[in-house]
Structure 1
């Protein structure tokens, strides 16, 4: 790639699970950390969130575990179509994506990945940043989350 992602921006490991309460308790017990708060984002119409090129509409339970310089994110999707439901249905519990903070290189990286044939599975915008899940799991075994800022 002309615009490399860079391991120095590695910020997250996201794991899709079918039972977030069980997963959160197990992670906490294994690493002797507090059980993380589990948040629920209900499905809402959001023009700033897409899934496979169309508007996304899904709910998600999520929890974050601080792990040194990065975060382990746990995701439990609801029944609606989403990148997380797609992964869980195809693979079961597992690592959905690795997240990288790339700063101003975000658009160049996304453009190059698209030119290489990798689809943007999900794009989400929120105040001050965005996240883009790149569908690259067939080649890497995991998707990538490209973010300008964490």
Structure 2
């Protein structure tokens, strides 16, 4: 580029400004991205969040203190019919279960047997290992497994359990390595209640409904292409610079790319951190790619932050958004230190205010 007296010529400067402005635009709009081709009757709803930890009682006690109630703790359970990376491997696992808005929370502490859980703990530490999608029959499970295999994704671990109404089946798809660190599970549960069945909850506010699943990754383009190749559709991406940013009690400078899946009943958010420091950079450094947070809507942000802070989950990062169609605030509560996953609180400002 030719410069005069260290300055960019006026016409060239206008061109540069235009190019920079263009680059700052979202990478894709919702009209441009491919639509999902998978069965939304299966993949439009997460039925289970699978959480793998080294000390189950410590993690579950903490979440019970935060406000997740009616936790069922059956103790150590035996799974003799498990295959891990092609080899039979009977497992013993300490387990606990809860429910948030119709989504089962499953905590797993490996006790005996080599498994994908051990692999996860060694690489990532405590954290959310998988998100499960329900199939309607064993035959549908095999159809889905065959479909993913034809697209280059095999099963890393599968097994069964004896339910009251028949044999239950599960299969973990090998998505984590190429898909942002999260494993997708297919599950057939003959004891599951019919879809849409309301469940009574005694959870304390704000744990009434999960409103977002969020994964932190290093390369949005690669991960988005991987999932699109499997039929999950495209991933529109926004460059995000939040307003009123705070990080660990100080003014924040963090920026990130945000990818979105909005075709299910709960939004998926994919986060590629760009400028730090941020909780996302911390997560990648300490744990690698993977599931970062569960989000919950709140009626009033400040009282909700105070409530969880008093229960042992202080704010780690916060900010807001202000667009022509939406305004609001977010706050991450630092629960990652016990269990490997954070809570995000979301407040959407009524637009008439």
Give the shorter-chain TM-score range: 0.7 to 0.9
Q: Is the 8 A contact 1:3 1:108 kept in 2?
A: no
Structure 1 residues 22-61: aligned runs within 5 Å: 22-42=58-78, 46=80, 48-61=81-94
Q: How does 1:19-98 map to 2 (within 5 A)?
A: 19-42=55-78, 46=80, 48-78=81-111, 80-98=113-131
Q: Which residue of 2 aligns with 1:112?
A: 147
- CA–CA distance in structure 2, aligned partners of residues 97 and 60 of structure 1: 16
Structure number with greater CO (CA < 8 Å, separation at least 6) is 1
The CA deviation at 1:129 is: 2.4
| 1:140 to partner: Cα distance | 3.8
* Count of aligned pairs between the two proteins: 146
Q: Secondary structure at the match of 1:78?
A: strand
CA contact (8 A) 2:135 2:186 kept: yes
Distance 1:58 1:66, change over 3 A: same
Ranges in structure 1 where 5+ consecutive residues have no aligned partner: none
Give me the CA root mean square deviation: 2.0
Matched, 1:145 2:158: no
Matches within 5 A, 1:8-23: 8=45, 10-23=46-59
Task: Kindly state the Cα deviation for residue 35 of structure 1 after the two structures are TM-superposed.
Answer: 4.7
Q: Distance in 1 between matches of 2:71 and 2:102?
A: 19
The CA distance in 2 between the partners of 1:35 and 1:69, in whole Å, is: 14
Q: In the alignment, is residue 129 of structure 1 matched against residue 168 of structure 2?
A: yes
Between the aligned partners of 2:113 and 2:188, the Cα distance in structure 1 is 27
* Secondary structure, aligned partner of 1:106: helix
Higher share of residues assigned helix: 1
Preserved contact between residue 51 and residue 128 of structure 2 (Cα < 8 Å):
yes
- Counterpart of 1:41 in 2: which secondary structure? strand
CA 107–2 in structure 1, closer or farther in 2 if over 3 Å, else same: farther
Q: TM-score, normalised by structure 1?
A: 0.85
CA radius of gyration, larger in: 2
CA distance in 2 between partners of 1:35 and 1:129 (Å): 21
Give the 3 Å change call, closer, same or farther, for CA 108–35 of structure 1 in structure 2.
Answer: closer
The structural deviation recorded for 1:121 is: 1.4
- TM-score using structure 2 length: 0.39
Deviations 1:50-76 (A, max 9, x none): 111110133211100111211111111
